[in-house]
Every structure is written in C-alpha cells, then in structure tokens.
Structure 1
Amino acid sequence: MTEKEMKKFPQHKFGQAFTTFKCDCQPYLLWLKKRLKENGGHVHARKIEDMWELHSDYDIIVNCSGLGSRKLMHDREIYPIRGQVLKVHAPWIRHFIRDGDGLTYIYPGIRDVTLGGTRQKDDWNLSPDPNTSKGILSRCCALEPSLRAAQDIKVRVGLRPTRSAVRLQKEVLVRGGAKLPVIHNYGHGGGGFSVHQGTAREATQLIKECVAELEMSRHKPKL
C-alpha cells in the first residue's frame, strides 16, 4: 500500500492492496443446486447413522459430511473451529479490509457487510456470544470508523469442519461379502469455498476410477 493509503491505518506499519473476488455463499449454493437439478440430479433430505444404509440404493457414495464424519466414519481427526461474525447494513463500504492475523476483517457482499471474526478450536457452541459480538464490532470500527453508523446488525455462528489435512481419498467398505466404494471429500476448514472446485475435480476422478472397477467386475467371466 502507498504511504497515502496507509494513513488510514495509523496503527499499522505496512499493508498490501490487491484485487480479488468474494463468493456470497447462500446464493452460490442455490445456484449449484439449480445446476444439479438441470443436469438430472436429485436432492433428498435424509438422516443416516451408517453408510451401509445407502448400499441398497447406490453403487458409489461420495462422503461430504464434514463434521458428521466424526460419527459416521469414526474419524477423530476432524474437529470444529467455531466462527462468529456480524452481518451489517453498510452499503458505503466498498473495499475489503483484513487485519494482519486474519481475525479482524470487513468483507462487503451483495446484500450486507460481514464483520469478523473468531477461530475457536474444538468449540461446538452454536449460540451467539454477546461479548464476542461487541469485540468484533469494536475491532472493525477501529479499522473503519464509519461502521459505527452501520444498521440492522445480525449475528451468525458456524462451525468450520477442520482436519490436519483434507480427507480426499477412496475407501472400499466391506461387510460380509458386500463392498461399498466411498469417496471421501471433507475437512476443508474455513477454506472450502477457495478449494472446493479443485477437490471436486479430484473426487470426480476417483469416482470415475470406481465406476471403471465396477464395470470390470460386472463383466469379469465367472469360473
């Protein structure tokens, strides 16, 4: 950042400015769901306790259950990082501002501005904390004083499904004489929207490998 730009942040010694893009999650997910349906996909809401509940309906399972894999796959490596943010109406905010450690940020979106945030490891609490909200607003106002005039403040809490590394692999579950191919694709933490297209392509390649193996087994001559 230039010396003139840095004058807006007297508490900092240096900064970087760059152009990027932001994904508004809710409309993007709705768009993905629409694309799925347009291409012949179906959406069913259903709770399962075991992958084998799906065996009679599907040949291959793609497991994107996030924190659910802690119970579903007995994966103790996955844990939540709790995030609390504020959504405010401040249409004059046009630029992203992110503090050095990444815990304080101001992200303008289509309908509102996101103020953050927190990274609380192994915290499963989905209830908003008023003191945390006050702290977020105070830190963001220190970076952008005009936010004191922000209106319609809403609190949002979410759990980021975090792992030491994204689990992106093929696993064949075996029960009795039956086999169930499962493609795991979960544990993206807070960076899911940054890497989801790449990991989806990797998962698709693993699905193709499973399909090829199933086709070979079906056409294999019986001795």
Structure 2
Amino acid sequence: MVKARIAVVGAGVIGLSTALCISESLPDCSLTVIADRFTPNTTSDVAAGMLIPHLYPDTPVYQQKQWFQETFDHLLGICNSPEASAAGIQLVSGWQIFKMVPNEKIPFWSDAVLGFRFMTGKEMKKFPQHRFGQAFTTLKCNSPSYLLWLEERLKENGAHLQKRRIKDLWELHSDYNIIVNCSGIGSRTLMNDLEIRPIRGQVLKVQAPWVKHFIRDGDGLTYIYPGVHDVTLGGTRQKDNWELLPDPQTSKTIFDRCCTLEPSLSAVQDINVKVGLRPSRSAVRLQKQTEVRGSKTLLLVHNYGHGGGGFSVHYGTAKKAAQLVKECIVGLEMSRHKAKL
C-alpha cells in the first residue's frame, strides 16, 4: 500500500478523533494534524461533552444511530479501562424532562444508552412544571482532558501536531497526498460552504460537587451536567451569532433557569463563563471530494458540520472518515499502477 502523507486540518474532537482512527487503521501512513488552535482553545473545549444525540434533519436517522452507538460503545470501553481517568470519561445518570409529552416518548437512541426508562411519578415531583420524563445513564467527556488524551495517543502513534493557520487547503497540495478537512466552522471560508452556520453557545462552569445527576430540559436549552471537575450549566442556541464575548445578562438567565430545576445551585459562588460557536449544518458532511486546478488534483475527505452533537457521534464519524481515506489510498495505488503500464 502507498505510504500516504495525510494532513488532518482541525484539532477539535472531530479532527483529533479522525486523526487517531486514521493512525490506527493506517499505521504506515505519515500523519500530521494542522490547526491554528489546539486545546484548551478549541470550540470542543467549551462543550459539555455529554452523549445525548442532536438531530441532523438531512442525515438519515439509521446513520445517526449507528454513529452514536459506535461512539457510545467505544467510550464505554475506555470508561471501563484504566484509561478512564486520564481520558476524562465517566458514566453519569439523570433525567430528561418535558413540559409537554413528546410525540416520540422513546427516542431512537434509547437502546444505545444504559437503563433507559420513563421517570416515575415520585421522580417527577422534583419538577412540578414538567409532565413527562426519561431516566437513563449515559457518558460524559471532560472535554479538555479527552482532547489532551487524544493528542497523546496520536503522538504515541507517530503523528505530528502543527500549529498553523490554513487559508486555502491547496496550500497543502505539494506536501500531502490526502487532506482531511475537519475544520468545523472554518469550512465556511475554506470550502465556501455557506450551509454551515454558527450557533452560539454560552455556558457556565460552576463548583457544585453535591450535584450528581444530570438534568436536561427537553427543549435542549436548559441543562445541568455534572462532570469530573465542575458542573456545566446551559445554555443558549443563538443562530448566526458570531459573538465570542460572554454576555452577563445571558449568564444570569442561564443561572436562574438552572436554579429553577435544581434550587441547591443557588449556593454556588464561583462561576466561570465559556462561549463557543457550534459548527451547525442540516447534515454532517462526511464524503470524499476531488478538486482540480489546471493539471493538479487535490484529494479531500470531509468530516465537519456536527453542530452541538459532535461528542455524541465523533467516533462513529471518525471511523467512516478513516475508511474514506483508505479508499483514497487504494485509488492512488491504482493510478500509480496504471501509470507504470
């Protein structure tokens, strides 16, 4: 097989996990991860890292379920290993609650998480404004820990990490055979993909070690996610908003909403505010592409547009992207073989 030179552009959870899958499935390749920002300064560092799927309207549900199942099973394996602490992965149980009974009381991912059931009447008494609830156990990644862990695995596999701002993927043409585009919101300019749009997320990180169960309102806006080091309180979903500075009034609104669900949070003193721009798209772009400029061709594999659900499906999409890279290498081999004939 061709000893391919591969560049992965992007160092969030999608870029790093995709690079790791490539390095594991193609150990003979030369692999470089290129990004202008690495942890702790990526959008992924702001994410709560909870494995609860976000729907992509234009991606088939069976595909979303497969990606989620593969991701959940992969992380559960790490969670059940000595690597759990270093990778920042934990099991967390809790409730998803609804003010109105949803049309789909049993979501497509119910059999992928652990112990899914409807909440009892006694449990619902904690949330008098809500009429229906689901209880289950899922996984949570402490985002900065997980990103560092992925970086270390990559280095152990011989990959290189390069801090560099890329303005045009063709900059990499002469040095690499295949470019894997995991640039998230950056694809809006790198690929002129106007389908990808920012959805601004503002969250609070607080010290509340007594909070052990997650609580998520079914509208997806209000949530309380306990983690290894802190509790994440959210949130916002502000479409086409590029503002990265925290808004104090938004922080107050988030805090008040979360205190309504968990009154004990009112005792919290230390509040850290984080803002990130989710790279939102109606469908994850996961495909091969060949670009031509004159006599030159650029082999691309895209894996971006995960929005707020990146952690929930990252490993599943990374596996698929690695498979697409392998297909590109087979194509390169065939082309070289034909050239020799």
What's 1:72 paired with? 190
- Superposed displacement of residue 16, structure 1: 1.5
Secondary structure in structure 1 of the residue aligned to 2:302? strand
Aligned residues: 223
Which contiguous aligned blocks of 4+ residues in structure 1 show a shift greater than 4 angstroms? none
Distance 1:68 1:221, change over 3 A: closer
Which amino acid in the other structure matches residue 71 of structure 1? Answer: T
Scaled by the length of structure 1, the TM-score of the pair is: 0.97
Which amino acid in the other structure matches residue 20 of structure 1? Answer: T
Which amino acid in the other structure matches residue 133 of structure 1? Answer: S
Whole-Å Cα distance in 2 between the matches of residues 146 and 196 of structure 1? Answer: 33
What's 2:98 paired with? none
Greater RCO structure (CA 8 Å; 6+ sep)? 2
Which amino acid in the other structure matches residue 145 of structure 2? Answer: P
What's 2:227 paired with? 109
Whole-Å Cα distance in 2 between the matches of residues 222 and 94 of structure 1? Answer: 64
Q: What are the ranges of 5 or more consecutive residues in structure 2 without an aligned counterpart?
A: 1-118
Q: Once the two structures are superposed, what CA deviation does each residue of 1:68-106 show, in whole Å capped at 9, x if it has no partner? A: 111111111110000001000000000000112111100
Whole-Å Cα distance in 1 between the matches of residues 334 and 179 of structure 2? Answer: 18
Give me the CA root mean square deviation: 1.0
Secondary structure in structure 2 of the residue aligned to 1:94? coil
Identity of aligned residues (%): 74
Structure ID, larger Rg? 1
What's 1:207 paired with? 325
Scaled by the length of structure 2, the TM-score of the pair is: 0.64
Q: What are the ranges of 5 or more consecutive residues in structure 1 without an aligned counterpart?
A: none
- Superposed displacement of residue 221, structure 1: 4.0
User: 2:179 matched to 1:91?
Assistant: no
What's 1:4 paired with? 122
Which amino acid in the other structure matches residue 193 of structure 1? Answer: F
Give the conservation status (yes or no) of the 8 Å contact 1:90–1:151: no
Q: Once the two structures are superposed, what CA deviation does each residue of 1:20-69 show, in whole Å capped at 9, x if it has no partner? A: 11111110010000000000101001112111110111000000011111
